Structure 1
Amino acid sequence: MYGSGALAGRRLAVTGGSRGLGGEIVRAALDEGAVVVACARGGEDLAALAGEVGDAPLFTSVADVAQPGAVEEFVHFAVGAMGGIDGVVACAGGARGRGLDDATAEDWAWTWEVNAGHSARLLAAAVPHLRAAGGGSAVVISSISGWKPGPQAQYGAAKAAQLHLVSSLARELAPDGIRVNAVSPGSMLIEGKRWDRLRREEPGEFARLVAEVPGGRLVTPREVAEVVLFLLSDASSGMSGANVPVDRAQNAPGPQGY
């Protein structure tokens, strides 16, 4: 853990918070004493997480952040559940479509909205409540794909947009005492997800991916979550507008290499 009680009493809203990295961020924040409201598209996954953490102060809401109004409704729910907000984490993300010849306009639009668009709307909805709390911390989960190019372009472009969003809003919101930072994970081994499937189905390709990481091991969701907690805590009070890679010095963000 980052440190005992580092987020004691903090009221946090986390999108994409049911499983994978988002679920790990929620668990870690609860361990540090935070009160958390998490949303995700899957009600069953949220229920499973709530059952896992037991009596910890976790509230959940089913929401598809790519849908109009969903992020704003989530923030409204979070404020009602916790009485305010001290920090937010834009963790929901994803991609649709393949290469440029095959990706449709809808693939580009959805990938943009679920990454950069939802992050912007989350901050816009949360800022009045962060101001009311005297300031706070916002963390946007981007990716090393935002500046280390790899397929598909729509995903990398959306992740790069998140990084610019963070840099710009950090300056805009600084007078309100609101810090905005990004965390950019490298390739993570998450059960049932892309790289776990590659490991099981195409071990040769997975070995090529691991070869892109000098340490020979993919970064874990817990390692990324610890950095997110640091940025939410007072220990990072001097940081805003930063992009923190958590990738174990990974080179290319995929087995194709450069």
Structure 2
Amino acid sequence: MDVGHERGRHVGAGRFAGRRFVVTGGSRGLGEQVVRLLLSEGARVATCARGVEPLEALHRSLGAPDALLVRSLDVSVPGLLERFVEDGASALGGLDGVVACAGGARGRGITEASPEDWAATWEMNVGHVARLVATSVPHLRESGGGSIVVVASVSGWKPGPQAQYGSAKAAQIHMVSSLARELARDRIRVNAVSPGSMLIPGKRWDRMRREDPVAFDRFRGEFPGGELVLTQEVADVIAFLLTDQSRAVTGINLPVDKGQNAPTPEGY
């Protein structure tokens, strides 16, 4: 499904006027916040997610702007993501930046998780980023450079269950430091943002807050200020890394976790 597939630069005001971005996982939560923020400041955006309905709802809520291209796909399926990036770059007239926000995990603890769970978690996170970057780099080069932001996690450098997820996020963080050096000559910056536990409507922590307030209050103790991270707070940091104001910043992992200790209520 494609919506808003029109050529030409978007004319608007803001930090990103005339800029062109690909954002994976842009239909809900943090990804949706990033898409909305970029569009509100003049960018043109191509975004993808697995669910058709959330993408259509996002597009309707924005008044169906021609500044937005959306497509339903699974980023872990080789070929689909690459085709989306190529089509997005063609529709937008090039690329100036990329945000890898899609991700996830499959399986439970080490004695229960299957090899397929580990492989699927790896592909959703590490494989997806590798293929996204590889396909985007030629378009960023044509634009004279750009910025790539990979959404990792506090779980990538602070231990917590499940191991397959933390391992994949740690790999993303290491990948960023390597790619930043590899692509520096092309004037392409690569950085990671590691959100802490985010309070997203309908998701795990929001459900805990409503269904088990005692457990939620206990979990809040992992944050020195007693408050979980909001998606808008993370989106603001991602936006900064996409601007020219961060042109000297590359190869870093930037925690946006309000000083969170353990990433889960399990306490590790």
Structure 1 residue 200: Cα displacement: 2.1
In the alignment, which of 36, 43, 46 is matched to residue 52 of structure 2? Answer: 43
Q: Is residue 2:18 matched to residue 1:9?
A: yes
* Aligned equivalents of 1:32, 1:246: Cα separation in 2: 22
Q: Secondary structure at the match of 1:252?
A: coil
Q: Is residue 2:136 matched to residue 1:126?
A: yes
Question: How do residues 4-153 of structure 1 correspond to structure 2 at under 5 angstroms?
Answer: 5-56=14-65, 57-153=67-163
Structure 1 residues 220-229 or 73-82, which shifts more? 73-82
In the alignment, which of 231, 235, 238 is matched to residue 241 of structure 2? Answer: 231
Structure 1 residue 48: Cα displacement: 0.4
* Aligned equivalents of 1:214, 1:257: Cα separation in 2: 14
Q: Secondary structure at the match of 2:229?
A: coil
Runs of 4+ in 1 over 6 A off after TM superposition: none
In the alignment, which of 253, 256, 264 is matched to residue 243 of structure 1? Answer: 253
Contact 1:183 1:243 in 2 (8 A): yes
Question: How do residues 148-227 of structure 1 correspond to structure 2 at under 5 angstroms?
Answer: 148-227=158-237
* Aligned equivalents of 1:123, 1:197: Cα separation in 2: 34
1:156 aligned partner, one-letter code: G
* Aligned equivalents of 1:116, 1:213: Cα separation in 2: 28
* Aligned equivalents of 1:204, 1:95: Cα separation in 2: 26
Structure 1 residue 119: Cα displacement: 0.6
* Aligned equivalents of 1:114, 1:120: Cα separation in 2: 10
Structure 1 residue 15: Cα displacement: 0.3
2:25 aligned partner, one-letter code: G
Q: Which runs of 5+ in 1 are unaligned?
A: none
1:210 aligned partner, one-letter code: R
Contact 1:170 1:240 in 2 (8 A): yes
RMSD: 1.0
* Aligned equivalents of 1:68, 1:89: Cα separation in 2: 18
Structure 1 residue 55: Cα displacement: 4.8
Structure 1 residue 203: Cα displacement: 2.1
1:14 aligned partner, one-letter code: V
Percent of aligned pairs with the same residue? 64
Q: Cα deviation per residue 1:158-217 (whole Å; 9 max; x = unaligned)?
A: 000000110000000000000000010000011111111222222222122111001111
Q: Secondary structure at the match of 1:119?
A: helix
Q: Secondary structure at the match of 2:46?
A: strand
Q: Cα deviation per residue 1:94-148 (whole Å; 9 max; x = unaligned)?
A: 1111110111111111111111110111000000000011100000000010010
Contact 1:208 1:256 in 2 (8 A): no
Q: Cα deviation per residue 1:57-110 (whole Å; 9 max; x = unaligned)?
A: 111011100112121011012112101111000000111111101111111111
Q: Secondary structure at the match of 1:12?
A: strand
How many pairs does the alignment contain? 255
